Amino acid sequence: MIEVVRPGPLATVQDLGRPGYAHLGVPRSGAADAPSLRLANRLVGNPEGAAGVEFTLGGASLLFHSPAWISVTGAPLDLRLDDRPQGMNAPVRVPEGGTLHLGVPPRGLRSYLAVRGGLTCEKTLGSRSTDLLSHLGPPALAPGTRLPFGRADGPMSVDLAPVAPLPGAPVLRVLPGPRDDWFARDALTVLTSNPYTVTPTGNRVGVRLEGPALVRAREGELASEGMVTGALQVPPNGNPILFLTDHPTTGGYPVIAVVRHQDLPLAAQLRPGDNLRFHLS
C-alpha cells in the first residue's frame, strides 16, 4: 500500500479510460499522455493499461508501506528515493518504509507513476480513471490517500527506456475539419502560420490557446455534434480550445482542425506560457 504524503498541485489515478460510453455523455478520460503511462507500466512488467498516477507539475511525496517496483515517466523531474537520486524511465525498487519524492518538472506538465501489480482502486464503468468533470472514478489524491496495488506475473525485462526529450518549440500536426468550412478562407492558414500561447486556465478537459483569432465565415449556431480528443474547437471569441481526454462528448462550437493522435501526448505536456505551432499534414 502507498500512502500519499503530498500530492502536488493535482494527482489522479489514471488508466486508459472508459471508451464505449460517449453516447451516454461519458468522456473517455484516462491518462492524458497515454504512451507515457503505457511505458511506465511496461517498465515494471504490467499490462499497458494498468492504473497508475498522473501527476501535474510533480511536487509530490509518496510513502510505501510495502515494498514495490515502480517507474516514473512523462515530464522529466528530479526523482528521489529518500535522499538518493533515481532515474526516470527505469524500474526502481522501493523498500518498505521508503519515501519517493517527485520534484517539479522544468519542462512538460504531466508525469506518470506505475507500480508493479497496478493500482487496484475500485473500477467505475470498467475503468479506474478519475474524471473530475464527470465525477467518475476515485477522488483526486490528497494527503493521507491510500493506494492499494496488486501483484504482477509479467517479466520485467527493460532496465531503461530511451525517451526523446520534450521539444522546446512544440509543433502539433493537424488535419483540417470537420468544420473548417465554417471559417474564413484563410483561417487554416492563420492557424498554421502563427504561434499560439497556452493560457493558465487549462485542465484535463482542454488547453485554452491565445493567438490570432480564427474568424468565422458563418453566422448562427452549429447543431451539437460529437467531439473527438485533439479537436480544436473555436468559440465565438476565435481562440481555439484543444480538447484533451476529459473533453465533453458533444459540443456546439465548430472544430476547425484535429490534432493527429500521435501528437496528443505532446499536447498533454503543454504548460501555461508555452508557445506552440500547428502544422497541416
Residues found near other proteins in the complex (CB under 8 A): 19-26, 28, 124-125, 133-136, 175-179, 223-228, 230-231, 248-251, 255, 258-261
Q: Looking at beta carbons only, is 110 or 179 nearer to other proteins?
A: 179
Q: Kindly report the number of other CB atoms within 10 A of residue 114's CB atom.
A: 30
Chain-centre distance for alpha carbon 158: 24
Backbone φ/ψ region at 32: left (φ over 0), alpha (ψ -120 to 50), beta: alpha
CB of 25 to other proteins, least distance (A): 4
Nearer Cβ to other proteins (152/267): 267
Phi, psi of 41 (to 5 degrees): -65, -45
Q: Nearer to other proteins by C-beta: 189 or 224?
A: 224
Residue 60: in which H helix or E strand, if any? strand 60-64
Minimum CB distance to other proteins smaller for 156 or for 228: 228
115 vs 195: CA distance, rounded Å: 38
* Smallest distance from other proteins to CB 92, Å: 30
Nearer to other proteins, 8 or 137 (CB): 137
Q: At its nearest, how many Å lie between other proteins and the CB of residue 22?
A: 4
CB 108 within 8 A of CB 269: yes
Least distance CB 34 / other proteins (angstroms): 11
Q: Which is nearest to 183 in space by CA: 209, 210, 222?
A: 222
Smallest separation (angstroms) from other proteins to the CB of 229: 8
